[in-house]
Amino acid sequence: MSKKLDFSLEFFPPATAEGVEKLRAVRSELAVLGPDFFSVTYGAGGSTRDRTLQVVREIREAGIEAAPHLSCIGATQQSIRDHLAEFRSMGVKRIVALRGDLPSGMADPGEFRYASELVGFIRQETGDEFFLEVASYPEVHPQARSYDADVRAFANKVQAGANSSITQYFYNADAYFSFVDAARKAGVTIPIVPGIMPIASFSKLARFSESCGAEIPQWMRRRFEGFGDDAEAIRAFGLDVVTRLCEQLISGGAPSLHFYTLNQAGMTRELVHRLGLAK
């Protein structure tokens, strides 16, 4: 039997005690599916530092690999050094290295301009100790000067020492395949893992997609709008669309899948089962 495709799952660190409890339950529900690793996001400018570390610690205690995200906007070399020392003491092996976005009201961008500089700095300080994931954008990062400039920026992160990449979410498989082609032409050989966003609420997704530059195709938008407040119809259609997307990505050669769980178990669990990825 051929080996099942790996998959990883992303959480954000909850802000309330209730959210922490809920995430514990969600995590154990999803752990039985056999993910390769869990990753935990990091609030812009370090706002979730302790909470991110706490969730990472708990996941590791449960015997699953946990990858903290780390963003460098607003950071100093010394603050990143401190983070790396903490990761080492916790036994962390994988980091998702990002630039992040300067939070409103925070004026000092710190000592790093781009994620490539963070990746280079981590390599300089710790050699090959950590497996480094970086972000990539099949539909182009919103601040990029051009498509080609964004592919070059991605190639720079790889040149600086990234081992693998997770993409921003998208709903158009061709955008992914053409980005992979462009990256390969630019000399990038590392895995480019599609980031998959399940659709639980269309209105929330539409708002969020505008800020991060992910496109919702017109036909999908119109179908969702047609369902009005019918949560069941939205859920069923969202699951079908995302299952089909994942099937296209897998048959086109995606190396694994990374699910943005939004700290909910239901949709991700259903997708993993439908795709036959549960271990």
Identified binder of ligand FAD from the candidate list 8, 71, 164, 268, rule CB under 6 A: 71
Write the CB contacts of 264 (distance below 8 Å, at least 6 apart in sequence). Answer: 26, 198, 200
Residue 200: closest CA among 159, 241, 166:
241
CA distance 165 to 162: 8
Of 112-120, 171-179, 238-246, 264-272, which part binds ligand FAD (CB under 6 A)? 112-120
* Residue 270 structure tokens: 């259903």
Q: Are the C-beta atoms of residues 42 and 21 closer than 8 Å to each other?
A: no
**Residue 116 within binding range of ligand FAD, rule CB under 6 A:** yes
CA distance 128 to 93: 10
**Residue 150 within binding range of ligand FAD, rule CB under 6 A:** yes
What residues between 179 and 198 interact with ligand FAD by CB under 6 A?
195
Identified binder of ligand FAD from the candidate list 23, 38, 41, 241, rule CB under 6 A: 41
168/268 with CB nearer ligand FAD: 168
**Residue 168 within binding range of ligand FAD, rule CB under 6 A:** yes
**Residue 44 within binding range of ligand FAD, rule CB under 6 A:** yes
- First-to-last C-alpha distance (Å) of the chain: 13
**Residue 101 within binding range of ligand FAD, rule CB under 6 A:** yes
User: Active-site residues: which are they?
Assistant: 10
42/130 with CB nearer ligand FAD: 42
Least distance CB 277 / ligand FAD (angstroms): 19
CA distance 217 to 238: 13
* 53-59 contact pairs (CB < 8 A, 24+): 53/86, 53/90, 54/13, 55/11, 55/13, 55/14, 55/23, 56/90, 56/92, 57/90, 58/24, 58/27, 59/27
> Binding pattern to ligand FAD, positions 244-273, x when CB under 6 A?
------------------------------
Of 53-61, 98-106, 200-208, 269-277, which part binds ligand FAD (CB under 6 A)? 98-106
Identified binder of ligand FAD from the candidate list 115, 214, 254, 277, rule CB under 6 A: 115
CA distance 61 to 65: 9
Of 41-49, 177-185, 239-247, 248-256, which part binds ligand FAD (CB under 6 A)? 41-49
**Residues at the interface with ligand FAD (CB under 6 A):** 41-42, 44, 69, 71, 96, 98-101, 114-116, 135, 141, 143-144, 149-150, 153, 156-157, 166, 168, 195
